[in-house]
Structure 1
């Protein structure tokens, strides 16, 4: 059925005392920085962020709201090509996840029209006076309490870096915010590092939640780390940080072909898009600050193991739940989403006790938790890691109602177990580790992968 579109969307923005408002059809969505961070941000960067964040946060909204384009009251954003490319690369996997006709999002997005108040982009201003000096030992980490950000924090501390953490609010996941705010305070007391909370109401654009109560579209999620790169810049300048670290793993570079086009699981976390994010940061810091991944040559299950084996105290804080439903009392897991299921399975596969990680129920004994593996549901995350994790759990013979289903439907088409052991016990190609710290990171990775391999079933 042909999608009907109406007029263009009206979008603008304005600077405020502690951040900026993104305005969609006269409705304001504030981004509020900690006061001292925003006060230390130069006015040229504030104006630059206004143009670029307004576009980055909204340019996909016409697809949700059935509009033909966007009329922006802001200037043409310098990073428009980066965010446009990022979103374009994410369209095919959004189509698959949303179960819409292949190429339908792609075609509509390509045909959108964007107009701006001025075609002249605002640029970072040339530095006057004494130039800033950025510290290569200070790293800004967009922090979520997920396994990647916790492991990134732990690795940074171990190799002698000074982390600066900021948690950007995701209001479409309301059950996580109160938990994470409490944990941020606990974490700050535990490790004595700067910790910040960033109010981010444009997060309501995820799933179209600002307009539709029950919408579940994945549109917009695929540029999250690119947006976080922009959001991180005031923290970078305030702390003169030499790095922004993300925890993107090797599997993020995997792709499948849909209608002859490459479809990436997480477009914004591929090495190619991270190179664009790196250039965004370099542009503002005269090449001194960089965007890197601390975990890029590792698989997700390896990161999970390193966190809980090498850094168990931080591992107890892991929050990887989708948090779209209430958390189980006394736990940081809802016990109903695919992320909870995946993490529970990883624990069993690694020979770890999931009940030490905050789980209260055995999710391998609960029906319907793995329809994204055995059924037709489409969720994020590498399928090959689920193959490995179920294979390991099967060989360990942990209690599970899924063993027979795995044995019948999956095992006959999988590679031999020794192949999985080798593949998940090695360091993969390295695209974007921070070069000065690569040797120290490799030493830790090799130690942990050796332990990981030794712990696997024969």
Structure 2
């Protein structure tokens, strides 16, 4: 088995991760890196070296010899990794096999020396008017930016350019300039050479805790700007717990759950930051988040891009039309009475050949547990119902009417009760809640009024 020496080196403009003699650089603007405390530079570099390489023995026959002690964030990272491996994923064969592979591969890691005493760095109070946002032009990050604008915060936007997903940035190049001019904000593109250390294909080892890795790399920017908030854009959907086929309880997406968002604050504290890692949209289901973005902030919504596509076509076609995200967003827009062409849809995604992109909704299998089916498909069923009330047609709408309309109408209060409400705000900063929640409550009431009117018109009572 090949043995690889892993070390980290601090440079004038950032740091390098060295695997034997192979170097992976991560660079910062000169003023950003020079402003970062010297005592924190090597710990940051060594932590990054562990975060981005620990996965290699899971898909390569190698042993890693780290030329430094276990980083202070080691246990935190392993905690997050284990829970992330429990997620239902198309990339893993089974939960047990994924846990076994990760556990066994950890025996191929060795460290050198005793953990350092963490340096005592003066922590300046952050500016409560400043935020850093992970930004993608997805509906979640657009809504987060729009909310920060309304809350009076000045936000710096960062897009992480993954080398193994080259078309993501190209897909956004078409309108990022216009967006920056309209909202007088700069989109900072962070080149991730270290992203080449992730597995491409297979079980996608190394992609589990990318938000934590992004936060680590953004620490010098957060310190330089004195930002009080690091906003990620995770909805309530990610807090839902389900049981997988092997009996494991798991979050839908652990890394995007409110529990893990709270834990990200430990990383900030380890690196002498008082900034608050949070998701402003934590209490919202995705359905409600899309509504608020398009109803309250249409100027931001026109840049909406949530497609999962990452191939050459994605660079020229805004929505691929052959992924779960495309069909979902298309249907949500119809349900709100918004023409999908507003955000660049140019084909009918209610055609029968799109059925496989609507989850298990149009599978031919007989449904044995209706309460469970309605609960797990509440958003998509509610969206189809509202699109139906608005008079939308299509092959899949015909199937919906035949297969689900009766049960949806019978259980409409249950569906609305689940989707159209506010959930926990554990990660939301206390000083922002009092201004944030009234926005949500106002939009929620607007949507409920629209639905009542649609229902009355449909019933011939209006």
Both proteins in one fold, TM over 0.5: yes
Q: Is the 8 A contact 2:170 2:315 kept in 1?
A: no
Distance of aligned partners of 1:428 and 1:30 in 2 relative to their CA distance in 1, 3 Å threshold: same
Return the offset for 1:91: 1.0
Residues 386-438 of structure 1: CA deviation (Å, up to 9, x unaligned): 33333433444423322344456666776712222232221112211111010
Match of 2:78 in 1: 84
Where 1:336 maps in the other structure, the secondary structure is coil
In 1: Cα distance, 2:359 partner to 2:353 partner: 13
Q: Gapped runs of 5+ residues in structure 2?
A: 364-375, 456-462
Match of 1:54 in 2: 49
Return the offset for 1:150: 0.9
Where 1:448 maps in the other structure, the secondary structure is helix
Matches within 5 A, 1:240-389: 240-258=226-244, 259-285=246-272, 288-327=274-313, 331-365=317-351, 367-368=353-354, 370-371=356-357, 373-374=359-360, 383-389=377-383
Q: Is the 8 A contact 2:287 2:332 kept in 1?
A: yes
Distance of aligned partners of 1:234 and 1:99 in 2 relative to their CA distance in 1, 3 Å threshold: closer
Residues 162-213 of structure 1: CA deviation (Å, up to 9, x unaligned): 111111112222222134355443333222335422111233345x22xxxx
Match of 2:446 in 1: 451
1:393 and 2:379 correspond: no
Match of 1:142 in 2: 134
In 2: Cα distance, 1:388 partner to 1:260 partner: 29
Which of the residues 36, 41, 52 maps onto 2:36? 41
In 1: Cα distance, 2:315 partner to 2:264 partner: 39
State which drifts further: 173-182 or 46-55.
Answer: 173-182
Which of the residues 166, 179, 189 maps onto 1:174? 166
Q: Root-mean-square deviation (CA), in Å?
A: 2.7
TM-score by length of 1: 0.86
In 1: Cα distance, 2:83 partner to 2:424 partner: 22
Matches within 5 A, 1:138-217: 138-181=130-173, 183-206=175-198, 208-209=199-200, 215-217=201-203
Q: Is the 8 A contact 1:147 1:318 kept in 2?
A: yes
In 2: Cα distance, 1:135 partner to 1:448 partner: 29
In 1: Cα distance, 2:26 partner to 2:11 partner: 9
State which drifts further: 172-181 or 310-319.
Answer: 172-181
Distance of aligned partners of 1:200 and 1:353 in 2 relative to their CA distance in 1, 3 Å threshold: same
Where 1:31 maps in the other structure, the secondary structure is strand
TM-score by length of 2: 0.86
In 2: Cα distance, 1:412 partner to 1:76 partner: 58
Distance of aligned partners of 1:452 and 1:397 in 2 relative to their CA distance in 1, 3 Å threshold: same
Where 2:16 maps in the other structure, the secondary structure is strand
Distance of aligned partners of 1:329 and 1:284 in 2 relative to their CA distance in 1, 3 Å threshold: closer
In 1: Cα distance, 2:117 partner to 2:407 partner: 55
Distance of aligned partners of 1:449 and 1:120 in 2 relative to their CA distance in 1, 3 Å threshold: same
Where 2:350 maps in the other structure, the secondary structure is helix
In 1: Cα distance, 2:5 partner to 2:388 partner: 54
Residues 187-245 of structure 1: CA deviation (Å, up to 9, x unaligned): 33222335422111233345x22xxxxx2534433312211221221111111111111
Size of the aligned set, in residue pairs, is 436
Distance of aligned partners of 1:12 and 1:285 in 2 relative to their CA distance in 1, 3 Å threshold: closer
Q: Is the 8 A contact 2:241 2:250 kept in 1?
A: yes
Distance of aligned partners of 1:33 and 1:367 in 2 relative to their CA distance in 1, 3 Å threshold: farther
In 2: Cα distance, 1:185 partner to 1:118 partner: 48
Where 1:364 maps in the other structure, the secondary structure is coil
Distance of aligned partners of 1:373 and 1:182 in 2 relative to their CA distance in 1, 3 Å threshold: closer
1:31 and 2:23 correspond: no
